[in-house]
Structure 1
Amino acid sequence: MEKRLLFIYYQNIKAGGVSKVLSNLVNELVNEGYKIDILFLMEKHKDFYLIDYRVTKHYVNSFAYWTWSLTEFNRRRLRFIPKIQSVNNYIYQLGATLLMNKWLKENHKKYDHIISCWYKLSCTLAINKDVSHKTIAWEHINHQVGGFFYNNLKSKYKNLKAVVSLTKIGFEYYKKINPKSYVIPNIMSETFEELEFIPTHEKENIILMPTRLDHEKNVLDFLEIINDTDLKNWKVKIFGDGTQKDQLLDFIRQKNMSNVMIYGAISSSDIIKEFKKSKIVCLTSLKEGLPTVLIEAIFSSNVLIAYDCPSGPAEIINENNGFLIPLRDKNEFKKQLAYLIENPESLNNLMKSSFSDSKKWKKKSVIEKWKLILNS
């Protein structure tokens, strides 16, 4: 008898790590014979990341609910109140939870397992007695993220069927709450898995940073490093959108950084082309889950340089594929970047070993780990 699974997430309308790996996983699981549904907590929309036609999608619009209207009022009339945005975040999540629970009350019996794709959703499902026993929390971000309220609610993860973490650090934390905890890395798309090694003469002297442009991703540190580095004939490409985009563009203009370009978010097919052209991929994040872009980078023969932030880069970066830099140590980051630019032979050797290192992230073992949980 085929298993019927329900995944729950907010949206698939724009570039984002969770939406990307969600589409990758459901597309593989449907090929394994599972019946897959997804509940999105917003109005019906065109998918940014391709989802297999056999996957059934449902929508409940959290932005048409009364709680969203309340947050809009607060933004217009009460923006002078300190931390009003934090209050609005809780109000929005309340509405999303109420809508989700209403939909589940009517539909949950159809499903063998429910996979929650964000910790805020997992926290509320863990206290929903109708569904907690068949819910799997799929954690995508450092376990410390969430603040006092959600981190206290995580104690209720003991009620869940299982908790899936991306990192060993997350696993060690959650297994103390729920012994049915597992480490399963994100699955890569078929397009990346099919790539062969790309030699340096087929690439360009490009340093790539694909990331959101917000505080957590700390792109300003990267720009300051680039500004202090002799790039010679190298170019820097940054792909992404976010709240700090204007600030970052202003910095580039003020420093006359003509070799640095910020582009908006682009499609999956286009970002693969950029990975195939670049030689070095950088991240200066302050927090991560398991950054998929670093794994995609080694599949496409890139060398990695990233801050050792909590908690994902350390589980990807090693001596074979790049440099793990102490958090916010801009001098060390600059030193290793300059080394790669000035030593093309060392760069080429690292590109080769980086690609070889990608084999351990192949999807076959990832799918088998998921099947062990889903078939139990």
Structure 2
Amino acid sequence: MKKKRVLFYNGQLLMGGIERVLTSYLQGLANEEDLEITVLIKENDPEKNIFLTDIPKNLPIVFIKTEEMVKFRNEIKAKRKKNIFYKLIYPLILAYERLYMKKWLRNYMKANKDKFDVVIDFDMSLGKYLNIIDLPKIGWIHYTLTGKLRNKKKELRFKRRLEKYDRIVAICDEMKEEAKNLFKVPEEKIMRIYNPFDIDKVGREKEIIEEEDKEYLKEDYIVAVSRLVEGKGREDLVDIYNELHKDGIQEKLYILGEGPVSEKLEKKIKEFGLEGKVILVGQKKNPLPWMKDAKIFVHTSYGEGLPTVFLESMIAGTPVIAYDCPTGPKDILGKNQYGVLVKTGDKESFKIELEKLLKDEERRKKYIEDFYKEKLHEFNIEYIRKQFKKLISIGE
């Protein structure tokens, strides 16, 4: 049996949604007898590459930038705000790294031209280097494309990049339609594949709970999980909770994640006097115990891809209420069949719907039961594995 030889590329293995999905694919495909997979990662950063240990041991991993190179750049980056010399040389280091990567990729692809049948640009960050790769190329769209339209120059550049891929994957139906309508991607070139999810893994996952966290889980609470960045709408969530608190809500709000808006959130929590009620828990590699014991999972993002955290929460038995942002929430929650969707940015409606859901335990249970019966199978790794093999059969 001839094996299909696949090179999976991704920039990093940070604690992020794309990286989590990548490891799900690699774990689900690692033992397929008709596949031979190599993993190519741009940055060798042991401190930040949290998901490195989750890649199956039988898959070879190749790094483009060395650990020393990444460490040196990060040190310069940290010093540039306090020293003009480092501020001046930092752009030069970035320019050198781009040249280094281009040369490295050219040499690597030349030396391994007969080793691979297809290249998957999983986070679509190979844009500047696609011409170097003389193999069938697959690009993976993980996020809404509407933001690409804000700048005509960037829009045109992205359209040209999409044209360089032989096939494109969109991770939800809305995203597929965006690619077709906004960037004129032909129907035959694009395929919708949901992010894979090892459903049984939720039950097998070791519940790693630090000793100081156990007290938190004894409380009644609602939970949010994401990186703490502007687009995730976590300030909206604190505003919404503040209004609920005025109405006498007893449940606490736990916000899991780290990121640049954490200081803003801390300030807002103090301004509202919500210390001890809204808790910034920090980053947790395994958020499942926090999801499982919550009453409701809340999500106020202004843009998504396909939010895997919804699946994790619902498989763990906790229903979701979310902004109906482009794209992804509707693919999981349907038209309010499996959870609650609220118009994006409508904090008042979100507050009203969340309050009603907190008081209605039967409705919370029904959302989960219906999701298990009618929708969950579409995200099963076994189902998606078949779609993946169809995807990579380019030229067959």
**Does the pair score TM above 0.5?**
yes
Shift of 1:244: 0.6
Residue pair 1:71, 1:92 contacting (<8 A) in 2 also: no
Q: 2:60 aligns with which of 56, 59, 84?
A: 56
Q: 1:311 aligns with which of 302, 327, 346?
A: 327
**Residue 35 of structure 1 aligns to a residue in which SS?**
strand
Give deviations 1:277-321, integer Å, cap 9, x for gaps: 123111111111111111222211221111111111122123232
- Indicate whether 1:188 and 2:224 are aligned: no
Q: Partner letter of residue 355 of structure 2? A: A
Residue pair 2:198, 2:380 contacting (<8 A) in 1 also: no
Answer with 42-51 or 215-224: which moved more. Answer: 42-51
1:273, 1:245 → 2: CA distance? 22
Residue pair 1:214, 1:244 contacting (<8 A) in 2 also: yes
- The residue aligned with 1:142 is 144
Shift of 1:348: 3.0
- Indicate whether 1:177 and 2:195 are aligned: no
Shift of 1:2: 1.0
- The residue aligned with 2:288 is 272
Answer with 3-12 or 46-55: which moved more. Answer: 46-55
2:241, 2:354 → 1: CA distance? 9
Residue pair 1:284, 1:307 contacting (<8 A) in 2 also: yes
Q: TM-score, normalised by structure 2?
A: 0.80
Give deviations 1:81-108, integer Å, cap 9, x for gaps: 9xxx9x8999598458524445334334
- The residue aligned with 1:77 is 84
- The residue aligned with 2:211 is none
- The residue aligned with 1:20 is 20
1:203, 1:171 → 2: CA distance? 42
Q: TM-score, normalised by structure 1?
A: 0.84
Q: Partner letter of residue 77 of structure 1? A: I
2:255, 2:31 → 1: CA distance? 34
Residue pair 2:377, 2:383 contacting (<8 A) in 1 also: no
Residues 71, 287 of structure 1: alpha-carbon distance in 2 compared, 3 angstrom cutoff: farther
**Residue 360 of structure 1 aligns to a residue in which SS?**
helix
Shift of 1:361: 2.0
1:21, 1:304 → 2: CA distance? 20
Residue pair 2:169, 2:193 contacting (<8 A) in 1 also: yes
Q: Partner letter of residue 284 of structure 1? A: T
User: Pairwise CA RMSD of aligned residues?
Assistant: 3.3
Structure 2: gaps spanning 5 or more residues: 205-216
Shift of 1:355: 3.8
For 1:224-373, list aligned pairs within 5 A.
224-229=239-244, 230=247, 232-257=249-274, 258-268=276-286, 271-318=287-334, 319-356=336-373, 357-373=375-391
- Indicate whether 1:110 and 2:115 are aligned: yes
- The residue aligned with 1:155 is 159
Give deviations 1:35-54, integer Å, cap 9, x for gaps: 11111111253752311111
Answer with 349-358 or 137-146: which moved more. Answer: 349-358
Q: Partner letter of residue 337 of structure 1? A: L
- The residue aligned with 1:199 is none
